[in-house]
Amino acid sequence: MLVLTRAKDQVLLLILIRFYKIMTEKKEKTKKLYELVGTILGKTQEKVYNKDSKYHGNNYYKLTVKIVNWENINFLYIFADKLASEQIWKDIQESNYFDKKFIFYCHNHKGNYGLVNWKELKDHGSN
């Protein structure tokens, strides 16, 4: 056990403890929600193989998309636990998205867009 005798050492220790607590606290930061308009062209089911990932072994979908309001995005990633509704996961599994146009609500994680929610656009024509 560390025994501090000088008042300066005790103050320094308290400052270090407080600094450590601040630095190690998990802070919930607000993630920007992107609204991407487009269609789904296809899907592939994949698995997380990174052993260091907390999602190791989980399945996810990689959707090939055509986004009309952000042309450099070609893929969306879908993890079941990140979706606002279980129905979205089911719709993707059953391919209930062909010939439909959506607003995709996504978070950007290091250049990869993860789907959170979607809204089907009705009467979108033949785009």
Other CB atoms within a 10 A radius of the CB of residue 34 amount to 17
CA dihedral 73, 51, 79, 91 (to 10 degrees): 100
CA pair distance 48, 71, nearest whole angstrom: 27
State the pLDDT at residue 8.
72
Type of residue found at 120: E
State the pLDDT at residue 116.
97
3-state secondary structure of 97: coil
State the pLDDT at residue 44.
97
The DSSP bridge partners found for residue 104 are 36, 118
State the pLDDT at residue 25.
59
Q: What is the pLDDT of residues 21-64, one digit of tens each?
A: 666 655 555 679 999 999 999 999 999 999 998 889 999 999 99
CA pair distance 21, 16, nearest whole angstrom: 9
State the pLDDT at residue 26.
52
pTM (global) more than 0.85: no
Tell me whether strands 75-78 and 101-109 are parallel, antiparallel or unpaired: unpaired
Domains in the chain, please, with CATH? 34-121 (2.40.50.120)
96 band by pLDDT with thresholds 50, 70 and 90:
very high
Q: Average pLDDT, whole number, for the chain?
A: 86
Least trusted range by pLDDT, from 5-9, 23-27, 54-58, 93-97: 23-27
Q: What is the pLDDT of residues 106-124, one digit of tens each?
A: 999 989 999 999 999 987 5
